[in-house]
A and B are shown apart, each in its own frame.
Chain A
Amino acid sequence: MANTDRIWRFALYGALLFAAAYYLLPLYVMVTTSVKSVEEIRAGNLLSMPMAVTLDAWSKAWSTACTGVSCNGLSGYFWNSVQMVIPAVAISTMLGAINGYVLSKWRFWGSEVVFAMILFGVFMPFQVLLLPMAQTLGMFGLANTTAGLVFVHVVCGTASTTLFFRNYYVGIPDELIKAARLDGAGFWRIFWRIILPMSTPIIMVTLIWQFTQIWNDFLFGVVFASGDAQPITVGLNNLANTSTSVKEYNVDMAAALIAALPTILVYVFAGKYFVRGLTAGAVKG
């Protein structure tokens, strides 16, 4: 019995490690490729260790690689994404908190309908908004600007943030609100003094979720921004798909890692909240 048990455990760990290798391999390949020279890539293979580590590909990806017609690397795109993601995340999170508070603690006739309407926004395919949105942004002079992208992300992101906050606030006992109201606290006082101080976990979840979503977005970036306002995902795609005579896979991989760095850092430092964000709303049942 003990013997079969040991064999079983051995197989279990074998399977788990095999799966870990499967998930890690692409990251290993990306990192090692990004520090090899083009000649070394041609001479070796995917898994061979770099013989002479060089950061040339990284500096090229950051400042001189060609993305279509211009050859200024990814740095401009990176800062565009930073300028886009900060206000978009902040505004959509604030709106979500307020909406969630109203929809869970101050229900009124019709508020369920409003919630259902907003909820559909979590699932709808954004393709259906692209053409009218492009027209509208053009009309307001927001086409091809970071402000326009921020606006689109707020419109489309508020659905998820509202869902997160609403589901979290439903779990806060109504008695707490009732007691505060008996003491004479009003709508805003209850929000600032009672609800918000209890909200740290869900605020973290929402910030991380929104940050990842908006940083990683490609669709809105490629449709609504051109040239100077394009986010990093578009920059990376342009870089990797620019046809040159010699394909520089080391530069492509360095660029991919640069584009992935902010969300990887979030995952490393706030992994607990990241997982919670991913599973939030999904495993209620």
Chain B
Amino acid sequence: MSTPNAHYGFAERWLPRLVLAPSFLLTLVFLYGFIAWNGYLSFTNSRLLPNYEWAGLVQYATLFENERWWVAVRNLGVFAVLFIGGAMAIGITLAILLDQKVRGEGAIRTLYLYPMALSFVVTGTAWKWMLNPGLGLEKLMHDWGFTSFTFDWLVNSDMSIYTVVIAGLWQSSGFVMALFLAGLRGVDDSIIKAAQIDGATLPRIYWKIILPALRPVVFSTLMILSHIAIKSFDLVMALTGGGPGFSSDLPATFMYSMAFTRGQTGLGAASAMMMLATVAAIVVPYLYSELRKDHHG
């Protein structure tokens, strides 16, 4: 009994590591091990069943010659730019408007944000009904007297990806508003007061002082939105199913159909690696800077 401290030291040294070990192992095996496994699959000729014979870059060559893949990549570009840009613009605007000491702010904020609680499958199902040509928006406009109004984007292969943008913006823009409103409330009041005393106008204060102060929020929001855009799968599946044809495919739906419905396992694995590379290119520098900030902060 004379050495409680020695016992304590042992527990203190090893218990934390022991406790963290299960999660560490789960991460190591099921995240990093599986990335490696999937990476290996992408260098094989696996079709319906995995085949572990090394085949080099065949799948990547096939992928880069695949028209459908490039449609998916181009769609992701269109979707990401419009979805991220649109959600940022709507979100910032609404946050600034709500920041003007508005009566009933809490209730309004609640209304703007609720779509975020709904799944993309629910969102897709709802918008599919509203955007359907013939009965949805089109019929509404006809009933209101605009008889020449047509809106067939959902079944028009040139426009179908834009319907995904419409539904995506509805679901996520309120969330961006909430992020920016939280950010706006964090800006130091005394700086704003000082600027007001100096005679700066409200738009000028926002443009010159408040928005620059929100740079970290802009950055995080960009990260979150681009992450949502790249992994978007459910929304497309529920809204257009990737169609008409494969005109509204995104890399995520491409990967799913190659790997799980068309028996092209190797090609699916290769497309997943391309998605991972894209995300890593955006996220790794961000995580690196965040962790460094933690160290010095």
Contact B170 A23 (CB under 8 A): yes
Contact B174 A130 (CB under 8 A): no
Which one of A19, A46, A135, A278 contacts B175 once the chains associate, using CB atoms below 8 Å? A278
Interface centre among A111, A124, A135, A283 (most CB of B within 10 A): A283
Please count the residue pairs between chain A and chain B whose beta carbons lie under 8 angstroms apart in the complex: 279
* B20 interfacial by beta-carbon distance below 8 Å: yes
CA distance A134 to B30 in the complex (A): 12
* B260 interfacial by beta-carbon distance below 8 Å: yes
Q: Which of A108-130 contact B (CB under 8 A)?
A: 108, 111-112, 114-121, 123-130
* B168 interfacial by beta-carbon distance below 8 Å: no
- Shortest Cβ distance from residue B234 to the other chain A in the assembled complex, whole angstroms: 4
* B272 interfacial by beta-carbon distance below 8 Å: yes
CA distance A132 to B268 in the complex (A): 12
Q: Which of A223-265 contact B (CB under 8 A)?
A: 223, 233, 236-237, 240-241, 249, 252-253, 255-256, 259-260, 263-264
Q: How many residues does chain B have at the interface if contact means C-beta atoms less than 8 Å apart?
A: 103
Binds A, one of B9-17, B53-61, B65-73, B155-163: B9-17
Q: How many residues does chain A have at the interface if contact means C-beta atoms less than 8 Å apart?
A: 92
- Shortest Cβ distance from residue B226 to the other chain A in the assembled complex, whole angstroms: 10
Interface centre among A23, A103, A223 (most CB of B within 10 A): A23
A119-B122 in contact given A125-B252, A125-B279, A219-B233 (Cβ < 8 Å): no
Which one of A13, A106, A129, A236 contacts B102 once the chains associate, using CB atoms below 8 Å? A13
Contact A282 B221 (CB under 8 A): yes
* B197 interfacial by beta-carbon distance below 8 Å: no
Which one of B11, B143, B182, B268 contacts A186 once the chains associate, using CB atoms below 8 Å? B11
Contact A131 B16 (CB under 8 A): no
Which one of B34, B170, B252 contacts A132 once the chains associate, using CB atoms below 8 Å? B34
A132-B38 in contact given A19-B94, A23-B174, A263-B117 (Cβ < 8 Å): yes
A124-B31 in contact given A29-B129, A46-B136 (Cβ < 8 Å): yes
Contact A218 B34 (CB under 8 A): no
Contacts of A210 in B (CB 8 A): none
Q: Which of A131-158 contact B (CB under 8 A)?
A: 131-136, 154-155, 158
Contact A127 B255 (CB under 8 A): yes
- Shortest Cβ distance from residue B180 to the other chain A in the assembled complex, whole angstroms: 9
- Shortest Cβ distance from residue B277 to the other chain A in the assembled complex, whole angstroms: 10
CA distance A14 to B118 in the complex (A): 26
The 4 closest A-B pairs by CB, nearest first: A285-B216, A216-B119, A106-B16, A218-B234
Which residues of A come within 8 Å of B, CB atoms? 12-13, 15-16, 19-20, 22-24, 26-27, 29-30, 33, 41-42, 45-47, 95, 98-99, 102-103, 106, 108, 111-112, 114-121, 123-136, 154-155, 158-159, 162, 184, 186-188, 212, 215-219, 222-223, 233, 236-237, 240-241, 249, 252-253, 255-256, 259-260, 263-264, 266-267, 271, 274-275, 278-279, 282-285
Ordered by A's residue number, 5 sampled pairs between the chains whose C-beta atoms are within 8 Å are A106-B12, A114-B24, A124-B35, A253-B129, A260-B118
